[in-house]
Amino acid sequence: MILKIRAAGEPVLRGRARPLTPEEIRRQSTQDLIALMRDTMRDAPGVGLAAPQVGLPLQLAVIEDREEYQKDQDKEALAERERKPVPFHVIINPVLTLESAADVEFFEGCLSVPGLVALVPRARSVRVECLDEKGESKVIRASGWYARILQHEIDHLGGTLYIDRMQSSSLSSMDNFARYWRGKTVAEVKRLLP
Q: What are the structural domains of the chain?
A: 11-192 (3.90.45.10)
Which of 105, 108, 133, 153 is catalytic? The answer is 153
Is the pLDDT assigned to residue 167 strictly greater than 80? Answer: yes
Using 50, 70 and 90 to split pLDDT, how confident is the model at 183?
A: confident
Residues 6+ apart with CB under 8 A from 62: 34, 37, 38, 41, 48, 49, 88, 89, 90
Residue 193: HSE in the Cβ half-sphere, 13 Å Cα cutoff:
17
Query: Three-state secondary structure along 29-70?
Result: HHHHHHHHHHHHHHHCCCCEEEHHHHCCCECEEEEEECHHHC
Per-residue model confidence as pLDDT tens digits over 123-145: 999 999 999 999 999 999 999 99
Quick check: is 153 catalytic? yes
Nearest partner of 151 among 124, 130, 185, judged by Cα: 124
Q: Report the pLDDT value the prediction gives residue 45, as an integer from 0 to 100.
A: 95
